[in-house]
Amino acid sequence: MEPRIATLLLGDSSPSGSISTLPPLPNSQLRPLLPAPATHRNDIPGVENLAGPRLRPISVRPKSSVPIAEVLNQEAPAAPQQFATTVSHNPAQPQLFSGRLQDILLDPSQERASKRRKVDGQTTPPALPGSENNLLTLPKLPQLPKKTSRRPRIPPLLQGLHQPPPLPPEGRLFPPITGERGGFSKELGDRVGLRSPAAPARNKEKEDHIPGEIAVVLRNSVSQRGEGKGKDRLVDATFYEAANEPNKEIQRPGDTGENSSGKGKTTKRRNKWTNQETQDLLRGVSMFGIGNWKKIVNHPGFDFHQRTAVDLKDRFRTCCPDETGKSRQINSQTTHSRDSNNDLTLATGLQGDEATPATTSVAPDEASSKPKKPRKSRSDKQEKSTEQLAEMGIQEPFARSKRRQRVEFTEKDDENLWKGYKQYGPVWHLIKEDANFGFRHRHPTDLRDRFRIRYAEEYAKAGYKLKTKNTPGPRANEESNQENFEVAPVTANKNTLQEATPIHINSSSTSNLKVHTLSQPLRNSFPTPYEDFSDIISEDDGENRKSPITLSRHIFQWADANPSQAPSMASASTMPTIANLTGDFGMHFLTGADGMHIDPQELRLPVASMQQGVFSVLPAYTPNQQHFGSTIPMNAGPTTVPAPAPGPSSGSMMASASNKQSVSSLLRTPNLPTIVYPHVPMSSARNTMHKLPRPADLLSGVDHDSRQEVQTTGLALDDGLAMGFSLHSHNATLAPLVGGANMNGVGRNLVMLDRERGGLGEDAFGERSLLNSSI
DNA sequence: GTAGGGTTAGTG
DNA sequence: CACTAACCCTAC
C-alpha cells in the first residue's frame, strides 16, 4: 500500500481512540480485517522482520503461550495501564510498554528486547503529527516452520512485539490466559486481525492495512474477555466499522473463518470479494485478458485489497467459469454461460469468496467431465451474466492471454527427457530438436524446467540451481529409498557383470515416478550441494542419517602409489576385473549401507564382503550416461579416459554436433561442493581425467569437482571404471579407480546392471531400452 | 541460447 | 487458499 494509505491508516489508528478525530478514510482503503497473511512459502523466519511496517501474524508464537501466561499472570495488572498510557497520545510511551510486552511475549531476554527497540528505531516511520506510529510498527513475527523439513542453519531472529496488542479500552486487562482457547494468544491474534501462522505474507504495501485494522479494533472493541461471543462481537465491530462503505461488503461473524468450534487452531479469515473488487477484476480481465492477473492486480486503477494474482485468478474462475481454460475449451459456445442464471453478488452485496467451481447448470459438461464428485453448488452463484458484465462496461468476450496451453509431461516425456539429457546433456534445444523425443512443441526452457523438477537431483548435480522450493527434502526419501533398493549379494569374483546377482527393487520405487527414482539413489550416493556442507544442514544433522565417510588409507595409498595407472584405465584390456579390483587394491568398492560409507574393516575383505554391502544405487545413471558423457570423444587420446564404447547405442547416440556444448556444459559446472569420494559425477567422471585430490582433501570433504579438471594430469577418476565395469559388462572389466569415488561408481553401475538383468522391470527413467541396447 | 526466477494454470 | 508444475520473462 502506498505511503499515503499508510498515513491514512496511521491517522486512523490515532491513539486517542476517538473516532471523531479520525480523518475520513476512503473506504476502498479500509480493510475490514487483517489480510490473510498466510504463510508465504518462502518466508524465512526473521529475515523479513526488519522490512518495515510489514506485519506478520502474531499467532506465530503458539509455543509461547505458556511462558506468556506465566509472565502475564504476574504483570497483567501493570501492563494494561501502561498500555492505556500508550493509547493516550504519548508517543514516547509506547516503547515502554512494548518493550515489556515483547519481553513478556517473546523473549525474557532483555538483551533481545533492547535489540528490538533498536530495530524499531530503524523501521518505524517518522512519527506523524497526531498519530501514533507504534501501531504501524507491529513486528512481523517469525513464522514457525510450516513443514518439519530441516531447520535453517541460522536460527531465526525472534522478533518481539513492537507495540502492545490492542486491548479493550474498558477493562484494560489482558484476556484470561487459560490456554489455547480463549486465551491471550488466540484472542490477541483475533483482535489484531491476524491470521494463522500459515497465512501468506502479503505484499508489503498491502500489509500496511493492519494498523488501521488494529485501530478499528481499538475503537470498537469492548471488553469481551472470557465471553464466547466476545470475539465475534469484536469482529463485528471491526468489520462493520471498517466496511461501512456501500461498496464494501461486510464480513459477518460467521464468515470470519473462525473455527466455529473455537478450537485452538485459528482458521483464516476469509477475505470476501467486494463488488468493487469483482468489478475491477472483470474490467481488468477485459483490459488485459485472462491470465494477466499480475497486471490486473497491479493496475493502479483497481483496488484489490490484499489480493494476489492468484486470488484474482480464483475469483475469475468463480465469476466466469466458462471463461477459464478448460471449460472454455469444452464449451465452445462460451457466451451461454454469461446468460445463465446468476443472481449475482453485484446485487446481493454478500458473496462468498470461495472459488467454487461452477459445476452447476452453467457448466454441466465441465462437471461431468471430471471423475471427481462435483462440488456442491452453492446458492449464491458467483457467476456474472452478460448483462452484469455489460453493466461494467464489458461488452466483448474476454481476451485470452498469449500463454501457451499447459501440457503435462507424460512419463514418456520424462523418459525421453532423460534420454535426451543423457544424449545431449543439458542442451535443451538439442533435445527439443531431436525428433525422437517429441519435444518439438516444447520450448527448451520447458525441458529444462521439467528436468529441473523431475530430475532435480541430477539437475543440481549438473551444476545448476534448483528452484528453492524444489530442493526436495533429499533426506525425506533417503531412507525409504534405501529400503526400496535391496541389493542382493554380488559375486564379484566373476569376470562379467552378467553374473552379478540381481538386485531387487521394491516395486514402489519403480512404480512411483513421483518419487524420483533417479534422484533417490543419487541421494544415497551423492551429497547434494547442500548436503556437502554438512554444517549447513544444521541441526538436522542431529537426525542425519548420513553416515560419516570413512576412508581407508589403502585407497590413498593406492592412489598415491599408482598415479601412472590412470592412463591405463583408458584401455579396457588393462582394466582389472572386479576381482582384481577388490583383490589387488584391497578396496571395497561397495559403499556402506548409506552409500557413503566404507567400513575400513571391510576394505580388505575379499569380495565376499560385498554381499553385506548395500549398493549405492544409481539407476538412471548408468548406461545412458555414456551418451551424455560420451560427448567427450571416448577415444580422444591418451589423456582422456575413454570409456570403452560398450554398446551400439553409445556410438549411435552420440551427437557429435553437441559435443562442444556438452563439453562446455560439463566444464562450466560450477564449484559445486562435492566430495570426491565417493562422489564423482558419473557424467564427468567417465570421460574425464581427474586430478585426484590429496587424501586429506578427500577426507575433509573439500570440494573437488572433477569436471573442472578435465584432462589434467593425474589419476583418472572413475570413468573407465564405471564404464568398464557396469556399462560394458561384456568385458567385465573395471577401471580401477582411486578411492571410493570410483568404487562407488562401480557399485552404482553394478546395481544398474543387476537391476537390468534382474528383470526389475522398466526402469523408471526409461533406460531400459538403452540399457539393453548397450549391453 | 540459457539460467534464474517470476507468473500462471490446475488441483485439492 | 496452499501447493505444484508448466509456462514465461529477462539478464546474461
Name residue, grid cell 484476556: A175
Q: Which of A537, A440, A520, A432 is nearest to A482 (CA)?
A: A520
Q: What is the mean pLDDT of residues A60-77?
A: 39
Protein-strand B interface by C-beta, 7 A: A 290-295, 309-310, 313-314, 317, 324-326, 355, 372, 401, 403, 405-406, 426-430, 444-445, 448-449, 464-465, 467-468, 661, 665
* Of A571, A609, A574, A572, the residue nearest A590 (C-alpha): A609
Could you report the per-residue pLDDT of A292-329, keeping only the tens digit for each? 888 888 888 887 877 888 888 888 888 777 766 444 44
A362 confidence band (pLDDT: 50, 70, 90): very low
Chain C bases closer than 7 angstroms to a protein Cβ: 1-10
A315 CA vs B9 C1’ separation (Å): 14
| Closest nt by CA–C1' to A327 | B10
Name the H helices within A455-591. Answer: 456-461, 478-484, 507-511, 519-525, 529-532, 534-537, 553-561, 565-568, 578-585
Q: pLDDT tens digits for A607-627? A: 333 333 333 333 333 333 434
- List, for residues A727-755, the tens digit of each pLDDT value: 333 333 233 333 333 333 333 332 333 33
Beta bridge partners of A675: A703
Cβ within 8 Å of residue A471, ≥6 positions away:
A456, A460, A528, A530
Give residue-wise pLDDT tens across range A329-346: 433 333 333 433 333 333
User: How far, in Å, is the CA of A446 from the C1' of nucleotide C11?
Assistant: 18
- Closest nucleotide (C1' vs CA) to A665 is B2
Q: What is the pLDDT of residues A501-540, one digit of tens each?
A: 222 333 333 333 333 334 333 333 333 333 333 333 333 3
Question: In angstroms, rounded to a whole number, what is the distance separating the alpha carbons of residues A680 and A93?
Answer: 62
CA closest to C1' of C9 belongs to: A445
The three-class DSSP label of residue A505 is: strand
Which of left, alpha, beta for A592 (phi over 0: left; psi -120 to 50: alpha)? beta
Q: Which helix (H) or strand (E) holds A486?
A: strand A485-486
What mean pLDDT comes out for the span A249-262?
A: 38
The confidence score (pLDDT) of residue A305 equals: 76
Percent of chain A at pLDDT exceeding 70: 17
Report how far residue A208's alpha carbon sits from residue A213's, in angstroms, rounded to the nearest whole number: 9
Measured between alpha carbons, how far is residue A348 from residues A30, A33, A246, A249, A263 in Å?
21, 21, 12, 10, 31
Q: Interior CA angle at A460 toward A454 and A466, to 5°?
A: 70
Lowest mean pLDDT among A136-150, A158-172, A561-575: A561-575
- Give the residue, A658 or A286, on which the prediction is more confident: A286
φ, ψ of residue A504 in degrees (nearest 5): -115, 135
Q: Any residues with CB less than 8 A from the CB of A763 and at least 6 apart, and which?
A: A510, A517, A619, A620, A755, A756, A771
pLDDT at A274 (0 to 100): 81
- Output the distance from A431 CA to C6 C1' rounded to whole Å: 18
> Is the per-residue pLDDT at A291 higher than 70?
yes
Q: Which CATH number fits domain A275-391: 3.30.460.80, 1.10.10.60, 3.40.50.10320, 3.60.21.10?
A: 1.10.10.60
**Which protein residues have a C-beta closer than 7 A to any atom of strand C?**
A 36, 38-39, 41, 146-147, 198-200, 268, 270-271, 307, 310-311, 314, 353, 355, 402-409, 442-443, 445-446, 449-450, 453-454, 469-470, 514
Q: Which nucleotide shows the minimum CA-to-C1' distance to residue A297?
A: B7
Query: What digits encode the pLDDT tens for the residues A364-375?
Result: 333 333 333 444
Does the pLDDT of residue A422 top 80, yes or no?
A: yes
**Nucleotide nearest A268, from its CA to each C1':** C1
Which of A271-285, A324-338, A350-364, A624-638 is predicted most confidently? A271-285
Say yes or no to pLDDT of A112 above 50. Answer: no
- What is the reported pLDDT for A469? 56
A272 CA – B7 C1', rounded, Å: 23
Of the candidates A230, A196, A237, A233, the one whose C-alpha atom is nearest the C-alpha of residue A215 is A237
Cell numbers given for A409 = 509431461
- At residue A411, the pLDDT reads 87
* pLDDT score, position A138: 53
* Separation of A504 CA and B9 C1' (Å): 39
Q: Closest nt to A355 (CA→C1')?
A: C1
Look over chain A and give the mean of its residue pLDDT values, rounded to a whole number. Answer: 45
Q: Which nucleotide is nearest to A40 (CA to C1')?
A: C2
Q: How many residues does chain A have?
A: 775
Distance A330 CA to B2 C1' (A): 36
The alpha carbon of A322 is separated from its chain's Cα centroid by a whole number of angstroms, namely 31
Show me where the domains of chain A are located.
3-144+159-255, 275-391, 411-470
A314, three cell numbers: 480464483
| Grid cell at residue A45 | 523466519
Strand B: which positions are within 7 A of a protein CB?
Answer: 1-12
pLDDT score at A207: 38
Write the pLDDT tens digit of every residue in A33-46. Answer: 333 333 333 333 33
CA angle A347, A348, A351 (to 5 degrees): 120
Cβ atoms A659, A633 nearer than 8 A:
yes
The letter for the amino acid at A329 is: Q
Which pLDDT does position A513 carry in this prediction? 36
Residues A248 and A263: beta-carbon distance below 8 Å: no
Q: Tell me what percent of the residues of chain A surpass a pLDDT of 90.
A: 1
Interatomic distance A448 CA / B6 C1' (Å): 16
Q: How confident is the model at residue A287, as a pLDDT? A: 81
- Is residue A404's pLDDT more than 60? yes
Other residues' Cβ atoms within 10 Å of the Cβ of residue A22: 18
Measured CA A669 to C1' C1 distance, in angstroms: 39
What local confidence, expressed as pLDDT, does residue A17 receive?
36
Distance between CA A483 and CA A593 in Å, rounded? 10
Neighbours of A162 (CB within 10 A): 27
